[in-house]
Structure 1
Amino acid sequence: MLDQLEAEFPEHAPRRSDAPKALDGIRVIDFSHFIAGPLATMILADMGAEVIKIEAPEKGDDLRRYPPLHPDLRHGAPFLWTNRNKRSVAVDLKSAEGLKVVRELIATADVVVENFSTGVMKRLGLDYDNCRRIKPDIIYCSVSAYGRDGAFADRLGFDPIAQVESGFVSMNGYADREGVRALSPVMDISTAMMASNAILGAVVARQRSGVGQAIEVSLFDTAVLMTGYATLQHLFSGADTQRHGNTSPDTCPSGVFQAQDRSFYINCGNDKIFQRLMAQVIGRADMATAEIYATGPERIRRRDELFAILGEAFAQQPWSYWQSRMRAAGVPCGQVRSIGEAIRSPEARERAIVTRIPHPTVGWVPNVSLPIRYSETPVVDPVVAPAVGQHTEEVLREVLGYDDARLARLAEEGGLGARRQPASADKRA
């Protein structure tokens, strides 16, 4: 399944061994699952925080079963994408002993992150009020669908629901058909970035004041933000945003064109770019200076004729010809790529976005790096996403000081799940 990794992608280049980590010394207890919460905590882990992922014994995070599954990993690509640099502790939160373990872990932590349905953490006695009794300066981040309070706090939410209810889908696609959702979980991803940013802000605030706080980030709130400036455009004009396919309602010419061999996108975001496109790329200096094309609104009114002129010109030469001319002229452009083409592109290779990292079972797994480059505190070297409960014994010994007898008693009392035994007990047997 991953046979081509060595041939296609470089091995991850390690960070400087003497470089500090941005979040060194910050411990995160992570109760989150699926995408928004785990991606937020992975960002923190990449920055050097110690992230301890709490999972149900045996089953673990439901995202583990999202395809494609690797037969030797016991989880799929999506889980690998959101859970590197974490340690997994599997305890039964339905048992008194399991809850005691996580309370002890929270007492050692800086941050708690959860994205359960509203009310679950309170029923477990792990809501913010209870956690701050355990650790008064705790930073507690809840990621929810519609907030933890109010008339909609009980509603469940997933990325596609947030896309449709926020108006995001209504903006995307073509005018002659229904709006189209983004297949990428853009609302989960943006919510994760909001949550990690919020946590970082709370860490800075606590360093100044010594006071922790509760943080709430909702999928719906973030989705409305992700509609961009369309919200204010609507409030100024009273009109709803219309679907324009690959063209832009605000600039012209911006859209997809066809060269001899492939399609590409250009974005003429201002008058000067248009003038350079026409004079230096297409060879139509007359159009560059024509009064009827002088401003964006004038060009938008003549979009069809402009696109016809450009389409006829672009069809005469291959993409490589046009790309070099547009790059030299300073016209923003890019070829329309598939995912496979994008991750193998010269730009992706130059930035080392996709690399391979070692895995003890399958040899190598792919890794997609964060788009963050620190000069003094580079992100940590990636460690593969853990198996369910892979670090339970290690964490309980190292963080809580459990010995063999305490681990064996915890297992007997059901804190580690129905059939779970600590590794030390297995070895003694």
Structure 2
Amino acid sequence: MLHRQRANATEIQTEATMNQGVLAGKTVVELGSMIAAPFATHILQQLGATVIKVEPPVGETTRKLVRGGPSGSFLAFNRGKKSLCLDLQKPQGKKVFRKLVEDADVVIHNLSPSASKKLGVTFDDCNALNPNIIFCAIKGYGDGPLSQEVASNPIAEAATGIMFSNRIDGRPSRLGPSYHDQFAGCYAVISVLAALLSKDETKRNIELGLYETGLHIAARDLLGVQLKSQLLGRPETEPSAEFSIPGYGSYEGSDGRWVYLVMLTDDHWRKFCAALQIEQIDDLTTLRERRRERSRVEAIVRNAVAQYEYDVLAALLSKHGVGFTEVLSADRVLSAAQAQAPGKYSEFEFKEYEFQAPDLPIPILVRSDELTTAPPLLGENTDEILASLGFDTAEVSDILDSRAAIPADTEQALWSLPKARG
């Protein structure tokens, strides 16, 4: 059942005093697919901007990824947006898009370079319509020999060293979640906010490479290997703390629940030993000694944790100031006490389905209106937006009849399987 996350805020704030976000009044046009651009505009929407999601007749890719319907990515990163379904290959579709850009503040897309040129969605195209437009293109690669090539999240991981060190059965593998896409979306938001603050017109044309995003994220590891090469005379990747510091990682309790321990320093080790009443061992007091006796230390920690049920263990660790948390499966995350505190997530209904979606964790800047608004159906706001752009009734009918713009099919089932009961 939908219940309470925003209840307290709703009771306290009247409609007149409701926070509309620091970007209230700004209009953002998104031509996004998958994650990078939709994630960027999701953040801007949470900050108060009106986001108009321009989608092709088949819909944005993430609308059809799970059982023929919307995926978790679509549900998480598109709530509260408006959907305008346009065929930009038709003259009337292009006409609608041009009028949209004329009145917008920001355009963000992650189209391929060739697609943006074909559809007339380059900076020059948009700037000719609106000299004040802030334009942000998230590409596979920035300037360089690969600038016209296509890249995706796993390609960025592979090309910037992340994948080489993340192996499953010896095979370089992607991390799992598309964090590089989301980082690129964050960098896009930073760029847009900077451009809004700047009076320099040359700062309004922003190009952001997913590859270059990956390089920046990997800076710690890239400099670490440079340091080791100069110290040791050979390249050596800096290992993760989890694999180089004993006592740092996941351990299973007596009830089958897992705890993750952060044990970086000698002080961390002392606190852990005090918490679980482990006698101090003279030859394990320093990190250097514990590293030398890694297998021995791992056995001590593993056996100590295995004696306790999680709740008892958590109380002991917390009392002694040990850094830890339970390793949670995704279905349990939002049931945790910390996640249940007000302001962490919002609830919304999408057709007959119910969802809880985490909010941007900067409550003082985030809007308090429209957080419980579901993602739009494909073309849900087409009629409304066409009217707002000044097209009269006859023009709207002509545009819709030509299928240059398409309204929502409210009767279409979202997923191929019916909602599970229970």
TM-score higher than 0.5 here?
A: yes
Report the Cα distance in structure 2 between the residues aligned to 1:146 and 1:158, rounded to whole angstroms: 10
Query: Partner of 2:268 in structure 1?
Result: 273
- Say whether 1:202 aligns with 2:198: no
Assess, with a 3 A threshold, how the Cα gap between structure 1 residues 156 and 372 changes in structure 2: closer, same or farther. Answer: same
- Say whether 1:65 aligns with 2:64: yes
Query: Partner of 1:184 in structure 2?
Result: 177
Report the Cα distance in structure 2 between the residues aligned to 1:243 and 1:121, rounded to whole angstroms: 41
Task: Give, in angstroms, the shift of residue 413 of structure 1.
Answer: 4.8
Deviations, residues 84-131 of structure 1 (Å, cap 9, x unaligned): 111111111001121111111111111001111113222333211221
Assess, with a 3 A threshold, how the Cα gap between structure 1 residues 42 and 173 changes in structure 2: closer, same or farther. Answer: same
Query: Partner of 2:392 in structure 1?
Result: 403
Q: How does 1:379-398 map to 2 (within 5 A)?
A: 379-382=368-371, 383-398=373-388
- Say whether 1:89 aligns with 2:84: yes
Report the Cα distance in structure 2 between the residues aligned to 1:353 and 1:374, rounded to whole angstroms: 9
- Asked whether the 8 Å contact 2:47–2:365 carries over to 1, the reply is no
One-letter code aligned to 2:391: Y
Q: How does 1:215-254 map to 2 (within 5 A)?
A: 215-227=206-218, 229-238=220-229, 239-241=235-237, 247-249=242-244, 251-254=245-248
Report the Cα distance in structure 2 between the residues aligned to 1:337 and 1:377, rounded to whole angstroms: 27
TM-score normalized by structure 2? Answer: 0.86
- Asked whether the 8 Å contact 1:172–1:180 carries over to 2, the reply is yes
State which of 243, 256, 271 in structure 1 corresponds to 2:250: 256
Identity of aligned residues (%): 25
Assess, with a 3 A threshold, how the Cα gap between structure 1 residues 277 and 75 changes in structure 2: closer, same or farther. Answer: closer
Task: Give, in angstroms, the shift of residue 22 of structure 1.
Answer: 0.8
SS of structure 2 residue aligned to 1:247: helix
Deviations, residues 248-270 of structure 1 (Å, cap 9, x unaligned): 43x44311222212221111122
- Say whether 1:303 aligns with 2:299: no
State which of 314, 317, 328 in structure 2 corresponds to 1:337: 328
- Asked whether the 8 Å contact 2:224–2:238 carries over to 1, the reply is no
Q: Number of aligned residue pairs: give it.
A: 397
Query: Partner of 2:53 in structure 1?
Result: 53
SS of structure 2 residue aligned to 1:381: coil
SS of structure 1 residue aligned to 2:400: helix
Report the Cα distance in structure 2 between the residues aligned to 1:294 and 1:331, rounded to whole angstroms: 16
SS of structure 2 residue aligned to 1:136: coil
One-letter code aligned to 1:394: E
Assess, with a 3 A threshold, how the Cα gap between structure 1 residues 271 and 283 changes in structure 2: closer, same or farther. Answer: same
Query: Partner of 2:154 in structure 1?
Result: 160
- Say whether 1:105 aligns with 2:95: no
- Asked whether the 8 Å contact 2:6–2:342 carries over to 1, the reply is no
TM-score normalized by structure 1? Answer: 0.84
- Asked whether the 8 Å contact 2:344–2:361 carries over to 1, the reply is no
Query: Partner of 1:427 in structure 2?
Result: none
Report the Cα distance in structure 1 between the residues aligned to 2:195 and 2:119, rounded to whole angstroms: 24
Q: Runs in 1 of length 4+ with deviation above 6 angstroms?
A: 420-423
- Asked whether the 8 Å contact 1:264–1:333 carries over to 2, the reply is yes
One-letter code aligned to 1:61: E
Task: Give, in angstroms, the shift of residue 28 of structure 1.
Answer: 0.6
Deviations, residues 256-287 of structure 1 (Å, cap 9, x unaligned): 22221222111112221222112x21323533
- Asked whether the 8 Å contact 1:26–1:109 carries over to 2, the reply is yes
Assess, with a 3 A threshold, how the Cα gap between structure 1 residues 252 and 329 changes in structure 2: closer, same or farther. Answer: same
Assess, with a 3 A threshold, how the Cα gap between structure 1 residues 416 and 391 changes in structure 2: closer, same or farther. Answer: same
- Asked whether the 8 Å contact 1:11–1:357 carries over to 2, the reply is no
Assess, with a 3 A threshold, how the Cα gap between structure 1 residues 294 and 351 changes in structure 2: closer, same or farther. Answer: farther
Deviations, residues 314-370 of structure 1 (Å, cap 9, x unaligned): 2222222221111111110112221112232222223564543134x31x5313122
Task: Give, in angstroms, the shift of residue 51 of structure 1.
Answer: 0.7
Query: Partner of 1:126 in structure 2?
Result: 121
Query: Partner of 2:311 in structure 1?
Result: 320
Assess, with a 3 A threshold, how the Cα gap between structure 1 residues 231 and 297 changes in structure 2: closer, same or farther. Answer: farther
Report the Cα distance in structure 2 between the residues aligned to 1:225 and 1:84, rounded to whole angstroms: 29
Unaligned runs of 5+ in 1: 424-429
Query: Partner of 2:41 in structure 1?
Result: 41
Assess, with a 3 A threshold, how the Cα gap between structure 1 residues 173 and 271 changes in structure 2: closer, same or farther. Answer: farther
What's the Cα RMSD here?
2.6
Report the Cα distance in structure 2 between the residues aligned to 1:297 and 1:134, rounded to whole angstroms: 64
- Asked whether the 8 Å contact 1:253–1:307 carries over to 2, the reply is yes
Task: Give, in angstroms, the shift of residue 377 of structure 1.
Answer: 5.1
